[in-house]
Amino acid sequence: MWVCLFHSASDAHLTCVCMFLFTDVYVTCVFSEDCVMPCSFMPGSEEVIHWLKPVADLTVHSYYYSTDQLQQQSLHYRRRTALFNDQIHKGNASLLLNAITLQDQGRYKCYTSTVKGNKESFINISVEAPVHLVNIQLSDDIITCSSKDIYPEPKLTWSTNLPSDMPLDPGTIQTSTKVDDRGLYDITSTKQFSRDRTNICTVTSGTRGETGTLRQQDPVQCSPSSEVSIPCRIPQSDLLTFNLTWRFNQIVNILTATYTKGTPQMYINDQWKEQVQDMSESGSLQLHRLTVIHQGSYSCELYTSRDTHLFLTYLEITPDKLSAGTIVAVVFVVTIAAVATAAGVYMYLKKRGREDTLEGEGISDNEVNHLNKPLNKRGEERKTEGQQVAQGDAVTENGE
Ligand SMILES: *[C@@H]1O[C@H](CO)[C@@H](O)[C@H](O)[C@H]1NC(C)=O
Ligand SMILES: *[C@@H]1O[C@H](CO)[C@@H](O)[C@H](O)[C@H]1NC(C)=O
Ligand SMILES: *[C@@H]1O[C@H](CO)[C@@H](O)[C@H](O)[C@H]1NC(C)=O
């Protein structure tokens, strides 16, 4: 097949480089996005352009008499095509196709004709729906990795941060793929969680791939009255633009931050406004005013254009049974109180013994009154003691 490529040196001078090509022009379009199918011809008046899909016998777009001619256009391309009208006189017959679907794949013919002659060229379109998000979750020690809306058929592999780890026994992994009515693949895989490792799931399709990582961090403890910081690890490299989400028990959204060139824009869920104090530069979540209902798993999820990172931390809220220092202090106070009480009881009994002795000498004539006094009438009690002291003095005086 002969193909001519035009090089426009200036409007007045055009050079034509002709060569024999065995191959079509290959273009990869992205699913659901717009795509330009390239085509060019030697400029000349009375342009005729036909875009066709010969295998399926479809008319994609036609142009003649200086205008689009869409009477014959196939239904599949209705309202999805456009030529670059201001470029046609320069020999540009490229076609813009909107909202690419998998049915758009295949070989297209671009036929052009002017007063100077005609030309056919072929463009082979392939469509990709790249992996754009790897979702990773942990439940009952089973880790699930999934990704949706992928084309061509994806592959999923598991690994850890330790390259020396043996490849996982395939028997412990369960992977399944599904195709939806648009022809896109969903892939899901589960395996046993490796507690002391970073669990890495890689989903690839075509030449591109994304990873999801999950790591369980050491548990954090705090009391309801204290502040606590739950760590996250924003990796340093290529991460100026990314999203971060903190979740409770992997479901409830606490906050979302969108980082653009390193500057965060933060949205806190209304139900957590009371508890969220701040988020540090490293992404760590600072909480306060917690109650036992806030005990659970906190996940920091980082979404970059290429990877998903999930850090899980269990927060244990321990009311009153606080730090070792506090326990020592509490034990100390309780001991002091016990000693003081014992001393008080001892003093009382001693005094009481002395009182009984005095009463036994028949000096007090209000013994019945004393026994009838309610215990909580401390003033009365003291007055009685005072009287008894006075009486005691009297006894001493009497004794002299
Ligand atoms: C035709 O014009 C469009 C829009 O300006 C441009 O994107 C495309 O590269 C051009 N194609 C050729 C073959 O010059
Ligand atoms: C289009 O190109 C793909 C490779 O990208 C190839 O598999 C396919 O057969 C080509 N289709 C046609 C109709 O040439
Ligand atoms: C971050 O979130 C915004 C808004 O939800 C979204 O448009 C964008 O694609 C996200 N960026 C990344 C890297 O996930």
pLDDT in tens, 325-355: 555 665 676 677 777 777 766 777 777 666 5
Q: What is the DSSP string of 329-375?
A: HHHHHHHHHHHHHHHHHHHHHHHHHHHHHHHHTT--S-HHHHHHS-T
- Give the Cα separation of 178 and 35 in Å (integer): 26
Alpha-carbon distance 283 to 71, whole Å?
Answer: 58
Burial class (CB in 10 A: 0-12, 13-18, 19+), 162: exposed
Q: Which residue's C-alpha comes closest to atom 13 of ligand 2?
A: 107
CATH code for the domain in which residue 204 is found:
2.60.40.10
| Ligand 2 cavity residues, CB under 6 Å | 26, 106-107, 124, 126
Within-domain flag for 20 = no
Q: Ligand 3 within 6 A of 259 CB?
A: no
162-166 own/partner pairs: CB under 8 Å, 24+ apart: 162/197, 165/197
**Residue 249, pLDDT score:** 92
Q: Is 101 in the pocket of ligand 3 (CB under 6 A)?
A: no
Contact 172, 191 (CB under 8 A): yes
- Tell me which amino acid residue 250 is: Q
Q: How many CB atoms lie within 10 A of CB 122?
A: 17
pLDDT value of position 326: 56
The answer to whether residue 18 is domain-embedded is no
Confirm if 186 and 177 have CB atoms less than 8 A apart.
Answer: yes
Judge if 163 and 240 occupy the same domain.
no
90 plus 35 within the same structural domain:
yes
Residues 6+ apart with CB under 8 A from 176: 187, 188, 189
Q: What is the pLDDT of residue 189?
A: 97
308 CB less than 6 Å from ligand 1?
no
**Domain presence at residue 68:** yes
Residues 230 and 291 in one domain: yes
Residues 47 and 78 in one domain: yes
**Ligand 3 pocket test: which of 131, 258, 307, 308 has the largest number of ligand atoms within 8 Å of its C-beta?**
258
What pLDDT does residue 169 have? 66
d(CA 92, CA 278): 55
d(CA 76, CA 80): 8
Residue 400 domain-assigned (yes or no): no
Question: CA–CA separation, 92 vs 106, rounded Å?
Answer: 21
Q: What does the pLDDT read at residue 358?
A: 47
Would you tell me how many other CB atoms lie within 10 Å of the CB of residue 381? Answer: 14
Confirm whether 1 is domain-assigned.
Answer: no
pTM over 0.95: no
What's the DSSP call for residue 382? H
% of the chain exceeding 70 in pLDDT: 74
Q: Is residue 186 part of a domain?
A: yes
Domain endpoint, select from 101, 127, 153: 127
41 lines ligand 3 (CB under 6 A): no
Identify whether residues 277 and 300 lie together within a single domain: yes
90 lines ligand 1 (CB under 6 A): no
Q: Helix (H, G, I), strand (E, B), or coil: what is residue 293? A: helix
Number of domains in the chain: 4
Q: Is the CB of 304 under 6 A from ligand 3?
A: yes
Same domain, 193 and 160: yes
Asked if residue 87 has its Cβ within 6 Å of ligand 1, the reply is yes
**Contact 89 CB / ligand 1 (< 6 Å):** no
Contacts 24+ apart (CB under 8 A), 117-120: 117/42, 117/44, 118/48, 119/3, 119/4, 119/41, 119/42, 120/1
Put residue 277 in one of left, alpha, beta given phi > 0 → left and psi -120 to 50 → alpha. Answer: alpha
Do both 30 and 51 map to the same domain? yes
CA–centroid distance, 123 to ligand 1, in Å, is 15
**Whether 116 and 137 share a structural domain:** no
Ligand 3 pocket check for 158: Cβ under 6 Å: no
Question: What is the Å distance from ligand 1's center to 104 Cα?
Answer: 20
Residue where a domain stops, chosen among 91, 107, 127: 127
| Any domain includes 80 | yes
Q: DSSP secondary-structure letter at 108?
A: E
Atom of ligand 3 nearest to the CA of 303: 14
- Let me know whether 113 and 144 are in one domain: no
Rounded Cα distance between 8 and 87, Å, is 13
Point out the ligand nearest to the CA of residue 89. Answer: 1
Asked if residues 135 and 37 have their Cβ atoms less than 8 Å apart, the reply is: no
**Residue 103 C-alpha to ligand 1 middle, in angstroms?**
24
Does 275 sit in the ligand 1 pocket, CB within 6 Å?
no
Cα separation, 175 vs 205, whole angstroms: 15
C-beta 388 within 6 A of ligand 3: no
**Is 31 within 8 Å of 127 (Cβ atoms)?**
yes
Would you write out the chain's pLDDT as a tens digit for each of its 400 residues?
A: 444 455 444 444 444 444 444 468 999 999 999 999 999 999 999 999 999 999 999 999 999 999 999 999 999 999 999 999 999 999 999 999 999 999 999 999 999 999 999 999 999 999 999 999 999 999 989 999 999 999 999 999 999 888 777 666 666 889 999 999 999 999 999 999 988 889 999 999 998 899 999 999 999 999 988 999 999 988 766 557 889 999 999 889 999 999 888 788 999 999 999 999 998 888 899 999 999 999 999 999 999 888 899 999 999 998 765 555 555 665 676 677 777 777 766 777 777 666 555 444 444 444 444 444 444 444 444 444 444 444 444 443 443 3
Binding site membership of 5 for ligand 1 (Cβ less than 6 Å): no
Q: What Å distances lie between residue 269 and 11, 69, 372, CA to CA?
A: 60, 53, 64
Q: Which of 216, 247, 269 is the last residue of a domain?
A: 216
Q: Which atom of ligand 2 is nearest to the CA of 28?
A: 5
Cα 105 to averaged position of ligand 2 atoms, centre (Å) = 9
CB of 245 shorter than 6 A to ligand 3: no
Q: Is the minimum distance from the CB of 113 to ligand 3 under 6 angstroms?
A: no
Ligand nearest to the CA of 25: 2
User: Separation of 64 CA from ligand 2 center, angstroms?
Assistant: 30
Helix axes 378-399, 324-360, angle to 10 degrees: 50
Q: Give a yes or no: residue 32 inside a domain.
A: yes
Identify each DSSP E strand in 21-179 by its residue range. Answer: 25-30, 35-37, 48-53, 58-64, 67-68, 81-83, 95-97, 106-114, 117-128, 135-139, 142-150, 155-160, 174-179
Which ligand approaches the C-alpha of residue 86 most closely? 1
Structural domain harbouring 77 = 26-127
The ligand minimizing its distance to the Cα of 302 is 3
Q: Give me the phi and psi of 286, to 5 degrees please.
A: -100, 120
Same domain, 205 and 252: no
- 187 and 242 co-located in one domain: no
Q: How far is the CA of 307 from the centre of ligand 3 (A)?
A: 12
CA 131 to CA 203: how far, in whole Å?
A: 7
Phi then psi for 202, rounded to 5 degrees?
A: -120, 125
Question: For the chain, what is the total number of helices (H) and then of strands (E)?
Answer: 3, 27
283, exposed or middle or buried, with CB in 10 Å at 0-12, 13-18, 19+?
buried
For residue 344, report the distance from its CA to the centre of ligand 3, in Å: 70
Same domain, 49 and 107: yes
357: left (phi over 0), alpha (psi -120 to 50) or beta: alpha
The beta strands (E) that lie in 54-134 are given as: 58-64, 67-68, 81-83, 95-97, 106-114, 117-128
